[in-house]
Structure 1
Amino acid sequence: MESPAPARSARAPATPTCTVPGLLVGLTKLLSLTKACAAPTPAADDGGREAAAAAATKPGHDPGPDPRLVLVRLFDAVSALKSGYVKLQRAHFPYDPDRVASADEAVASELDSVAALQCLCSSRRGIGPLVDDRWSLVQRLEAEARGRDADIAALGRELRRLQHDNARLSRRVVRSRNDDERRRTRLLLSVPKELTTPAALVSRFVAASRSVGDFAGLLHGAGTCASSSDDAVAEQARSWRRYAIEAHLWRAMLLVGTGGGDAGSSFHGIMKPRDALDALMQFPRSGLSAFCRAAYLAAVSPEAEAAACRNLDHRAFVSRGGHPRTRLYRAFAAAARSVWALRVLMAGCSESEQSGGGGDGVRMFYASRGSLYRAEFMESVPALGAEEDRRVETGEEKLSVAFTVTPGVKVGDTVVPCRVLLCRRREGFVRIR
């Protein structure tokens, strides 16, 4: 009988000294501690060197391995093990028995190296205590971080809740303030409903325009020097000055607030006296009283008062809260009461329109400088002649607005045109009519 063929010599499999689950657990710890223990502080490094040098001088001392060197070797071995495992996988596709056997031997050898290093790390002479201490430190820091994250999340929820409550309270405060203002306006200035009709508002607007015009004429006459000249240019300049004063009075009185008032005043009571000064004396804390003081200081300049009265006593008296009984101030009070009443009625009409949910309310409008003349919304001062009116209608001549003397008002479908001073353009120059 022929002797059997000698079998291929094969390396006996080494007894595994490292289990994969245990190795993975150890590697997880080590990878988590890389930043914690791989870079010791200089102070700790110097102290460790001094302690190691002192211990090395003792008799019978058995120096252990350097923990940092062990870590370096361990991570090198793990990298080599990963590389060998990749080669083993590649040897299976396509399958090559020789390459598989060679790669298997390399992986087994690296496993032995890692197992030996693991045993060294877990021994008392290795870095086992250092790893355990740092691992406990990492766990404690992670717990503290989780606690801080939970506190931050709770504070964020509390902040969002407070912001929501603040927004809700702000809306409530604004709503309450508006309700109080409307309630105070209704209580203090109860306007009869028959005075908020379009016809009543138009009548009040015409009366206010007449009163403001009278006061503007008084200021203009007081500040104009007497002259015997009948020059047409001088007369036109005087009329322009009067229109400018009237326009200034309107703008100043419309920019001042209507004021408040006390519970003892009412719209009917303020408008009942024939003389506006009597109304101011009867209701010294009314909205009209506050409006007159603010409007006089804004509308009547110190120069105009000095020209009309030769002093500034009116201004000082009004600034202290009084109302002088003089011809100038009586005319101003009449104009101011008319404008104040018009604004109160317009506000009441607008509020009733809004509450009723219909209508366009009341609007006051101005013609801006340079706007083309439109007869349906504007009225010329002085009035246009028949020939000029015909030329404007046919388009032969285009007139522009120099400035608005008296604003216009629109109540529903009723329009009271604004009074404007017109100008015409000739050869690149603007000439006032």
Structure 2
Amino acid sequence: MDAVDRRAVTPNKSILARTFAKVLNVRAATGVAPDDGAQKTKTQETVKQDSMSNRRQSFGNDEKLRHKSSERRQSFGFGNDEKLRHKSSERRGNDEKLRHKSSERRGNDEKIRHKSSERRQSFVFGNDEKLKHKSSNMHQSFGDNNEKLRHKSSNMHQSFGDNDEKLQHKIGNGRQSSGDVDEKLRHKLATEAFLAKLFASVSTLKAAYAQMQFAESPYDGEAIQAADQIVVSELKNLSGFKQSYVKKQFYEESSPEKVQVLAELQEQKSLLKTYEIMGKKLDSQLRLKNSEIIFLKEKLEETKKENRLIERRLNASGLLSNPDNLQFSGLNPNHFISAVRQTVKSVRQFARLMINEMELTGWDLDSAARAIEPDVDYWNESHKCFTIEAFVCREMFDGFNFPHFVPPNKWEQPKKQHRLFFDRFTQLKSLKTREYLVKNPKSKFATFCSAKFFRVVHPKMESSLFGNTNHTNVLRTGEFPDTSFFYAFSDMAKRVWLLHCLAFSFEPEASIFEVKKRCRFSEVYMESVCEEAFLSSDGKTKTKTETETEPVVAFTVVPGFRIGKTVIQCQVYLS
């Protein structure tokens, strides 16, 4: 819609108001009115009514304008009337233009209403056709779904019927299988009850037989008779069990659970009785062994007494250790054997003293034993003391086969000095070791004693045992320590020195020997320091077949000696 040209309107308040009214009438005639910034389309009747009211209002406004114009001509005079008539004619021209525009707009409104009616008609009729088509399709789909539902319903009814048949069939089979399971369970319980009664009867029979054996020693007639009756009764029960098993009569038990519990209780009672009888039998054997031990101890004491009597007789005859009237011409191997025993005893005492000192200072005896003799399997942990004893013997008897404990020169001819060695033996045997060393610090024995102490007790060992090296320092000055440890060592050294002198007093001289590791044990040349090597796992002496795989030599503890045809066995440790 074209807006009114403001330049064609005079600046008069009534004319401006009339112009606004015409503009509003034009908008009302087109049916478009502002409503909060949105346009609303009016119906055809409303548009006609608005158009008629606008026309009446327009005519009323014209009458008012003519009336005001006549008044103004009268008030302003003829000149003004002419001006007013001219303006009025201009306004009428404008009104004609406005009416022309209004008629054009009404034509446009008619076109708009026609198009609106066509659209409503096309929209309504088109939607009706679509709705009818959709409705027909929906009716057709509903019919198809109903057919499918009826088909599914019939299938479900048929499947439910089949399932009912299957369920009834399964229920029938379940009842039948339940009956079979109950029958199997009853059969199993009856079998277990029968076996429980069978084992209970066997246990009772064993207990009665054990009672019968126990009553035989010492003999108990009443106990034997009672046990015999029980044995006969249980044998009859076992025979009855056999018959009932063959005839399948043991299935007829009314309460197999109760029978099984009672049978197990009877079996436990019979086992308890058997263990009681075995305990009594072991107590009897223990008493017998104790009596044997007492008897053997008494026999050992008697044997020791006999040995002491024999030693006294030998001493009286001058054949044993160091008699004062021993002559060079009367030497025999028995004198040497006695000297060997005393020497070994002295060496063992000193080895025990060294072990005690090691234990007091916290030495690891296992490590010390492995350092001396590696890769040895000991029968007992306490046997590691034999390793320390073997070390002392090895150092003390080193060079024993040489006259002065050292190899002679190649150009030095061996001399027959049997008498000289016998004189040394006679001179030293009756003297105290401490007094002899003090009086003869430059003697052969004093030199031997100092040299062997350095071999047996190394300065590092001395420092570890005593916290100092006083023994070594004093010996290097040519003097001798005044300690109990050195006195024990000097006594042992004296025994070795005397044995060496006595060995070279014989013609031919006595010789020393050792056996190598892993050698086969021989009773002719060897003596074992541990009896465990000849005992079986049950503590008994091995039989001939068991000794075929006897242990081998691990190391030599005390060397052996030969004097002519006489052999003094060496002491070895077997592994």
Greater Rg by CA: 2
TM-score by length of 1: 0.45
- Kindly indicate which of the two structures has a greater share of residues assigned to helix: 2
Q: Which has the higher contact order (CA 8 A, sep 6+)?
A: 1
